[in-house]
Amino acid sequence: MTDQSHARHTEPGGPRTAPGPDAGRRPGAGAGAHDCADAVERALGRLDLDGKARLLSGQDMWSLPAVPAIGLRSLVMSDGPIGVRGRQWSAEDPSVALPSPTALAATWDPELARRAGHLLAQEARRKGVHVLLAPTVNLHRSPLGGRHFECYSEDPLLTGAIGAGYVRGVQEGGVGTTVKHFVGNDAETDRFTVDNRIAPRPLHELYLAPFEHIVTHARPWGIMTAYNQVNGSTMTEHHHLVTEVLRGAWGFDGCNVSDWTAARNTVRALHGGLDVAMPGPRTVFGAPLAAAVRAGEIAESEVDAAVRRVLLLAARTGCLDGVPPAVAPADAPQGIDGRAVARELARRAVVLLRNEPAGEGPQDGAGPILPLDPAALRRVAVIGAAARDARVLGGGSATVFPARIVSPLAGLRAALPEGVEVAFATGADPRTRIPHAREGFTLRARYLTAEGRLLAETPQFDGRVQVLGSFPDGVTRRDLHAVELTGSFTPRATGTHTLAVAGAGRLRLSLGGEVVFDGDGAGREGSDPFEAFMQPAEHRIDAELTADQEVSLTLRFVPHSLGLGEGMGALNFVLGHGEPRLDGDGEIEEAVRAATGADAAIVVVATTEEVESEGFDRGDLRLPGRQDELVARVAAANPRTVVVVNSGSPVELPWRDRVPAVLLSWFPGQEAGAALADVLLGAHEPGGRLPTTWPARLADAPVSTVTPTDGTLPYEEGLFIGYRAWQRAATAPAYPFGHGLGYTRWEYETLDTTPDSVRVRLRNTGDRPGREVVQIYLAPTGDTSGTPERPARWLVGFATVEAGPGESAETEIPLPGRAFEVWSEPDGGWRRVPGTYTVEAAHSSADIRLAAQITSR
């Protein structure tokens, strides 16, 4: 056996290569840049002004028009970061659901992000999607940010590295990406209008940095410009940031697609560098653009430049005749097992925050409680609404419909040896809305004309029927009158079940042939029309049902309207179902009884779609409902309590020191429970490290404001977000950036530096094989007077190593030149700051293991 084994080095950035029109091509695949440019020019030359203008405007929710005369097929785009939904917003064609972006970032492994990208490209090809509307690389500025779960990190380097891995992976599969939301969409409050005031240094050093890294290292074929304004200009019209910085300074040659409905003005958007206005059919481009050219407000050459970029995207993705795609279909990664990738990602992302001895109990030695020894378990209590109905993905545009979901309860049941008793108790259900009907239901949707003629029938994943964009094949907006959600339900418990119906239209529910609700439903009042549409007000109906006795049911919905705004087909109604429940106290008591005397109590706590999703920010960081009380009560009843936190972003964990183990599963994707069992029972080590600092209390967070005043949100904290801010705060966070435990121990043995790299040698001193994320921070030392203000330390590189017990591993990590630079005004460029620096090799931002001095000139 060699002393040094399994050492693996992951360079965050990957090799730097010059961007060019051939970007993303694999050697030998496709045509050269010249052929591509010729084909684009030929196609452009055959379009008249109206044809060109049409090509810059969505034809519907998700696609651009085909132009058969020039050999151009329709280019299809789809969300989103964790799966590929496809053209339908429905379960008709299920998608593999990977863990949330925060989870992907918690792996600190760009290579894994790349493999996720390969799978997503495979999914996209299967669904006829050419461009994925992802990745989301805005920063975790405030923990209240509603789409925190959909972004990677508070750190620009980690965000850029994961994002670059993701983009590489997707594009190696021949599918384009639109890196989003360029730039400053770091919160949701008033997202369509807010003017984020960001000074040049934080703008370049923090918020633009991930985009710059991805553009210069992974060469995305697209970018999505955000809803918000930055420093007075809305991002779809931001000439300086789009034309001068993104295209000029960074050499981006891809296509600039607006966020959905973000393009507001024909002339300003085109001047600002926008290429495509989405969604269609009515946008500020298309006919209004042709009219603006005819009126002399825009030069046709400007339209040509945008059309060239759309045609280049079409060429790259195989939608333009006469030029081979950037990746020949045969060269794209294929045959990837989606379930296996989803499970591997989910367990690699689990962050073990705390793992202490349990104190007392039948199988305790002195060691930490995890991993549990399956052979020593006789009875396990699994507690929490999310243990049975896992929250596997974030809401809003990131939604996909997986073919299956493995809940924590199901995953543990499957993994535990036969004979181990598993007792489930809800304990506390934080959901204020009745969940979509799923468990025990077999449903399909029937689309009908006013005369009752069947237009289409589709299988349903759950009780939500949702269309956003394209209606199912055979259904037109003109003919559609009603939709019936119909099928059967076999209850698993006897008692009073709660059914709920919601949707802006006439709703009639019949159960076992009897009408139990007939009335009008409404959309929810809300400032964000998307949110109002997504969460209509619900009506509840009690139903006395018997376990195992099947009942038939039909929910008929006649919508008030079939559109969301002009021309955009949309439909949304819901059948919800809640199991018979005890009252709140009774549920907690039941959980305490289940936990008492169990060999382990596993409590899954979660956020809900009502408190954490797209379209709004969070009001606080508390776990909703009575979940904190539940954990405290269960922990008091059983010292062997393990808490799994199922949220996409930070929550307060007031009981964290009263339980021996706490793990974060994030939104773990469809294989949630299988991955959790892998980790809890020790088949695999939890591999994650925090991509963002977890505060003990919201009040401690150095930056939290997300609410604009008079339309503007000043980023007053400047450079100091995340750990950069916590390092100078009076209070320590609950868990620092970079923190995460494994099942072994590491000793950092040596740190050697050169001016542009560091070499770290470390040894696995535990008794299990393990994986460590070696983090490198840079801290200015000595006399820093006269130098620009900078954080105490910042992340400059990282790498993952693996080693068996007793073995050592070595990794070399580059020190990028940018690590020593600051953005300097008024000249507007990067400037190296000479001086003495401490290079730190660390287990987390607060656990520095080795340090060395270097001098930068």
* Bridge partner residues of 748 (DSSP): 762
Structure tokens at 110: 């760009």
Structure tokens at 153: 């990190």
Task: Tell the smallest beta-carbon distance from residue 261 to ligand BGC (Å).
Answer: 8
- Cα–Cα distance between 297 and 764 in angstroms, integer? 67
Ramachandran quadrant class, 313 (left: phi over 0; alpha: psi -120 to 50; beta: rest): alpha
* Closest alpha carbon to 385 in 98, 653, 644: 644
Task: Tell the smallest beta-carbon distance from residue 701 to ligand BGC (Å).
Answer: 24
Burial classification of residue 548, based on how many CB atoms lie within 10 Å of its CB (0-12 exposed, 13-18 middle, 19 or more buried): exposed
Task: Give the three-class secondary structure for 595.
Answer: helix
* Closest alpha carbon to 101 in 150, 163, 59, 35: 150
Task: Please report, as a single letter, which amino acid is at residue 37.
Answer: A
| Cβ-contact 148, 160 below 8 angstroms | no
For ligand BGC, give the closer residue by CB, 224 or 725: 224
Among the listed residues 259, 389, 429, 678, the single catalytic one is 259
For ligand BGC, give the closer residue by CB, 133 or 353: 133
For binding to ligand BGC (CB under 6 A), which residues are involved?
79-80, 133, 180, 259-260, 397, 530
- Cα–Cα distance between 436 and 463 in angstroms, integer? 5
* Residues contacting 187, CB < 8 A, separation 6+: 141, 142, 144, 145, 146, 194, 617, 706, 713
Burial classification of residue 414, based on how many CB atoms lie within 10 Å of its CB (0-12 exposed, 13-18 middle, 19 or more buried): exposed
Task: Tell the smallest beta-carbon distance from residue 342 to ligand BGC (Å).
Answer: 21
Task: Please report, as a single letter, which amino acid is at residue 538.
Answer: E
| Residue 259 known to be catalytic | yes
For ligand BGC, give the closer residue by CB, 133 or 448: 133
Task: Give the three-class secondary structure for 316.
Answer: helix
Could you give the angle at the alpha carbon of 260 between the alpha carbons of 259 and 265, nearest 5°?
80
Task: Tell the smallest beta-carbon distance from residue 526 to ligand BGC (Å).
Answer: 14
Task: Tell the smallest beta-carbon distance from residue 533 to ligand BGC (Å).
Answer: 11
| Cβ-contact 590, 425 below 8 angstroms | yes
For ligand BGC, give the closer residue by CB, 74 or 498: 74
Task: Tell the smallest beta-carbon distance from residue 569 to ligand BGC (Å).
Answer: 14
Q: Which residue's CB comes closest to ligand BGC? A: 397
- Cα–Cα distance between 395 and 399 in angstroms, integer? 6
Task: Tell the smallest beta-carbon distance from residue 568 to ligand BGC (Å).
Answer: 11
Q: Rounded to whole angstroms, what are the CA distances from 631 to 432, 604, 625? A: 19, 9, 12
For ligand BGC, give the closer residue by CB, 137 or 319: 137
Ramachandran quadrant class, 687 (left: phi over 0; alpha: psi -120 to 50; beta: rest): alpha
Task: Tell the smallest beta-carbon distance from residue 79 to ligand BGC (Å).
Answer: 5
Task: Give the three-class secondary structure for 156.
Answer: helix
For ligand BGC, give the closer residue by CB, 397 or 641: 397
Catalytic residues: 259
